[in-house]
Structure 1
Amino acid sequence: MKESIDENELQTVTKLVPSKNRATFEEAITATKFGTFNIILMLIVIPAGWSSVFENTTMSYVFPSAECDLDLSLEDKGMLNAIAYIGMMSSGFVWGYLCDSFGRRKLLFIGYFTDALLVMMSSLSQSFTFLIIAKFLGGMVINGPFAALTTYLTEVHCAKYRATVQMILGTVFSIAGVFLPLMANFILPADIHFTLFDSLKIHPWNAFLLFAAFPPLLAGCGFFLLPESPKFLMTNGRNREALEVFKLIYSLNTGKPKDSYPITKLVNEKSANQFESLGLLADVKQSTKQKLADGFDGMKSLFVPPLVQKLVLTCTLQMFYMMSLNTLRLWIPQLFQAINDYEYYNNGTSAPLCTMLEVMKPKGINATKECVVNTNNSQVYMNVMIISATSVVGTMAAGYLINILGKKKMLFIIGIVSASNSYSLYFATNTNITLILSSIYITVTGVGMIIMLSVIVELFPTNLRTMTISLAMTVARFGAMLGNLLFPVLLKTGCAAPFFTMGSIVLSTSFLSLLLPNTDMIALT
């Protein structure tokens, strides 16, 4: 092996390597076309996206079924909704750091496999404490592949498709919201009660959690078979490998041989590429220690101008979107359960939302009413499916509108519409109006959160991209955690507090979004 090359030799080699006739990443990825590879990736994205939704949403459906088995209070439910986000917050920065240092693909398949094991562990819960621990660990793990998934999707599509692909990812999330209540409708009312090994009592909600482990298992298998992000490879001086990935994508998309790929050389995004072109790649490959050191140096640049201003703004916006969306979204099944219970015990009579929500409040310290699970919940699941189906249609429509209006205008309009619907929920006079307002609110706010992810990806350079997404999502999940802990407290103070609080938070996103730079059709750096 050749001796290490010093800085002077590096400059000499740089001069010898011609920069012309070399394709940029944008040119190279555009030349791969759109076809079979992208479709296969979208199919793998389905269980991957569902895994993230299932990890932080299943508890919403478990509450009515497990309320008596685990003796859950209103505050316990808020904690179970929040705990996955606490886990995500604890690991967000670490995952982003590792992903930007070691690659997207490895983090994706390892992360999803690990999450599947932890979901299986949660399905064996026998107490509130064990379930809290399992959900915390699950949240800690799923944060990594979620951030890597968003980045990977961006880095294997050209500028023409990036915003649309993020909308597809949002549609996948929305479809998960349709499938989850459908799964709950079949499993949770079932008569599943047996004991394993003389100590493990299995109830319908345990089986429900077990089925939720299949999406991350399938996602892990899928990403194990996919190549690394070519953008990541180029940024890390591995042009030879990146070119092979481009050829593979091109061949799958067009059905033509790899050798017919029109591009033979790539621009040198890192000095290591200059050695690679002369066959000296082995001399400059980084050690693990050097990768960690470089990753740490890059991380520091996020906290100084000009990136720190963008970081603060995008993190704030994402936090407000996540808080306003996932607080109400995770409490929607419980709210409709309260509506269902009110109508069930009042001969099908509806009432204003605030009147029906009174059944959720504790009846006092001397209450001796026996804990009974109402399994007649088909209407609850149907309402949640309608909301999720509306999100699917709305997200698909947003994929077209975003190309017409642009991201900034979309974000401004979204904040106004979401806030109006949140305020209006307080005045809802019956179940149908509650359903319509909830559907619009969750659909529109969800689209805003997806657009913000796309904006973050386009505002920050490749070597900091996943780290930035992880940091932004960590801050955002703090908002979701805080919202879910506060919601039951606000609900106890009165019906207006939770809806006006969430509405005011999402309204502020309209005006903050005006400060964002225009990122439409921006080329990746």
Structure 2
Amino acid sequence: MPAMDLDTALTTIGYGCGQVIIFVVSFFIYMYSVCESMSVSYVVVLTSCEFATTKEEKTLMASSLLGGMVASGLFIGFLADTYGRKCIIRLALLGALGFSTLSALMPEVYSLSMMRIIVGVFLSGVASLQVGFLIEFHAPKWRPTVVALCGQSVSAALIFCPLMAMGILHDDFSVTISSDYDMRPWRFLMIVVQLPGWLALLGISLVPETPYYYISVNREDKALNAIQWVCRMNRKKWEDLDISGISPDDRTSISEEGGFLKRMWFDSMRLFQRPYVGTTIICLLLIFGLFFTSIGLGIWFPAIRNMDNSGSHRLCDLVRNNPVFKNPKWNVNGTSSAEPFRCNDVMTNLIDPIYYGLAYFGCYTLSAVLVRFLLRKYVIALHIGVAFVFGLALNGVSQATLVLISFTGMMVMPGVLIPLASSVLIDALPIHLRGKALCLVRSLARLGAVVGSTIVGLLIRVSCDLTLNFFNAYLVVSFILAIFLPK
């Protein structure tokens, strides 16, 4: 009986408890990465008085973790393709959780920002490799649906964070450590939102490495063991299946020639050569746009909505009156100037962030349904088109509910597409380039989040309308790119 390739073997075994376990582990991995990324949305507001932060310092805090993720993503993928998805995800979780705990103890804004950069270096592997780890336990026909469903971890994280904030920030307490250092509630919030990460670390330690990785390093015996684990978890008898072994694929083997940097450079450059260059560049520019709008603008959502949003006001009118975007004014002696500044470090609106998370839940559900009936690229284009309509509406609508719906929809509709657009790279590239492609493309694409976050932090108070329409303009570019994605 001839050996099978992995896609056929996974299809023969069928979907069952094994894939559900991998799904749950991947769910908590991605949920943690979102919790860690979004917690700074609350810290930016909650440290305004304690650190007397300017808008530039707020922007630094908001972008620091994303900057670290950009830096490490350039080589994390190479490590994952060399040492395995599970190994790198587990190490990345340990590093991110450890340094995140330390960052919650930092005494001032610059040390906090530096620690968040280090957290981002580790978190890049957690966020980027999760989709590859998930997909490589699933047959091709299930992948788009599973990726869309696992994206619900984003909505879970976006609901989890404000719920934890409601519980912890309810009373303005502090634990005095020394005369000039207090443990205020925001520090405990940063620690509590790590809970999904600890669950993910436990889960990733209990499941096997992906069979596709073992095939890429010519370990067919290990790949067979991983497939047999799936079979056992699915309550199938191995003897009843027509699988005698897993066939190797010469196209997937990893080169062992040259040093680390030489091999990393060679394999990375292959992504920008035929026949992969078209797919790589289209996916890169598209995912850049998704991060630019959904994360770059979305990371400021709790801060922008942290005020009285009732009444008939355009979004930009609300921004102009938002104290979060005003700078404290001090004279050279350190005393307040003639124009007094009242800092705002209280989260007065934690309901809108919950609506934001519920919107992600609805849109992920919609994308999971649509992807069963439409080509993946048309689902992506449809979501981006709707986001553009919402973005245009923000230029004119002033009714409170419509402003919330339009602002939320503009960010959520592209945000739910990040895992789905990333899955294009999985299906379009050979196994030994997948980890590199995912991390390299998503790392470079995260520059979009850094650029978007910086634009909002520095310019939205200067020219809100122009800032919002920057995002609308790139949504048009993203829509065109989506049409040219491979099937």
Q: Is the 8 A contact 2:53 2:328 kept in 1?
A: no
Q: Deviation per CA, 1:462-519, whole angstroms, max 9, x where unpaired?
A: 101011111111111111101111113321332211211111111211112222221x
Partner residue in 1 for 2:293: 324
Alignment of 1:187 onto 2:181: no
Partner residue in 1 for 2:34: 53
Match of 1:351 among 313, 320, 333: 313
Whole-angstrom CA distance in 2 between matches of 1:68 and 1:472: 38
Q: Is the 8 A contact 2:97 2:197 kept in 1?
A: yes
Q: Deviation per CA, 1:361-396, whole angstroms, max 9, x where unpaired?
A: 53785464354446461xx21111112101102101
Partner residue in 2 for 1:369: 340
Whole-angstrom CA distance in 2 between matches of 1:442 and 1:271: 39
Quick one: structure 1 residues 113 and 367, their matched pair in 2 at CA, closer, same or farther if it must change by over 3 Å?
farther
Partner residue in 1 for 2:18: 37
Alignment of 1:250 onto 2:231: yes
Whole-angstrom CA distance in 1 between matches of 2:485 and 2:242: 37
Between structures 1 and 2, the one with greater helix share? 1
Partner residue in 2 for 1:233: 214
Q: Is the 8 A contact 2:89 2:126 kept in 1?
A: yes
Q: How far did residue 197 of structure 1 move?
A: 5.6
Whole-angstrom CA distance in 2 between matches of 1:385 and 1:464: 38
Partner residue in 1 for 2:109: 128
Partner residue in 2 for 1:447: 416
Whole-angstrom CA distance in 1 between matches of 2:48 and 2:70: 27
Q: How far did residue 261 of structure 1 move?
A: 4.2
Partner residue in 2 for 1:160: 141
Alignment of 1:265 onto 2:245: yes
Question: What percent identity do the matched residue pairs reach?
Answer: 21
Q: How far did residue 417 of structure 1 move?
A: 1.2
Aligned-partner residue type, residue 42 of structure 1: F
Partner residue in 1 for 2:303: 334
Alignment of 1:95 onto 2:76: yes
Q: Is the 8 A contact 1:125 1:131 kept in 2?
A: yes
Match of 2:455 among 486, 491, 501: 486
Q: Is the 8 A contact 2:286 2:481 kept in 1?
A: yes
Q: Is the 8 A contact 1:124 1:200 kept in 2?
A: no
Secondary structure (helix, strand or coil) at the match of 2:340 reads: coil
Q: How far did residue 356 of structure 1 move?
A: 2.0
Aligned-partner residue type, residue 362 of structure 1: K
Unaligned runs of 5+ in 2: 330-336
Aligned-partner residue type, residue 32 of structure 1: I
Whole-angstrom CA distance in 1 between matches of 2:156 and 2:386: 22
Partner residue in 2 for 1:308: 277
Secondary structure (helix, strand or coil) at the match of 1:493 reads: coil
Q: Is the 8 A contact 1:247 1:259 kept in 2?
A: no
Q: Is the 8 A contact 2:272 2:281 kept in 1?
A: no
Secondary structure (helix, strand or coil) at the match of 2:321 reads: helix
Q: Is the 8 A contact 2:75 2:440 kept in 1?
A: no
Whole-angstrom CA distance in 2 between matches of 1:364 and 1:133: 23
Whole-angstrom CA distance in 2 between matches of 1:440 and 1:135: 28
Q: Is the 8 A contact 2:328 2:341 kept in 1?
A: no
Q: How far did residue 354 of structure 1 move?
A: 2.3
Q: Report the count of equivalent residues.
A: 478
Match of 1:118 among 99, 111, 114: 99
Quick one: structure 1 residues 370 and 516, their matched pair in 2 at CA, closer, same or farther if it must change by over 3 Å?
closer
Whole-angstrom CA distance in 2 between matches of 1:32 and 1:289: 39
1:419-458 to 2 correspondence within 5 Å?
419-458=388-427
Q: How far did residue 418 of structure 1 move?
A: 0.9
What TM-score results when the alignment is normalised by the length of structure 1? 0.86
Whole-angstrom CA distance in 1 between matches of 2:327 and 2:56: 14
Aligned-partner residue type, residue 357 of structure 1: V
Whole-angstrom CA distance in 1 between matches of 2:26 and 2:5: 27
Alignment of 1:139 onto 2:120: yes
Aligned-partner residue type, residue 225 of structure 2: E
Match of 2:58 among 59, 77, 80: 77
Match of 2:369 among 400, 403, 406: 400
Q: Is the 8 A contact 1:353 1:430 kept in 2?
A: no
Q: Is the 8 A contact 1:387 1:438 kept in 2?
A: no
Bigger mean CA deviation after superposition, 316-325 or 286-295: 286-295
Partner residue in 2 for 1:503: 472
Q: Is the 8 A contact 1:101 1:291 kept in 2?
A: no
Q: Deviation per CA, 1:66-97, whole angstroms, max 9, x where unpaired?
A: 11011112222222111111101111021001
What TM-score results when the alignment is normalised by the length of structure 2? 0.92
Q: How far did residue 28 of structure 1 move?
A: 1.0
Q: How far did residue 459 of structure 1 move?
A: 1.4
Whole-angstrom CA distance in 1 between matches of 2:445 and 2:144: 21
Secondary structure (helix, strand or coil) at the match of 1:162 reads: helix
Aligned-partner residue type, residue 437 of structure 1: S
Q: How far did residue 455 of structure 1 move?
A: 1.0
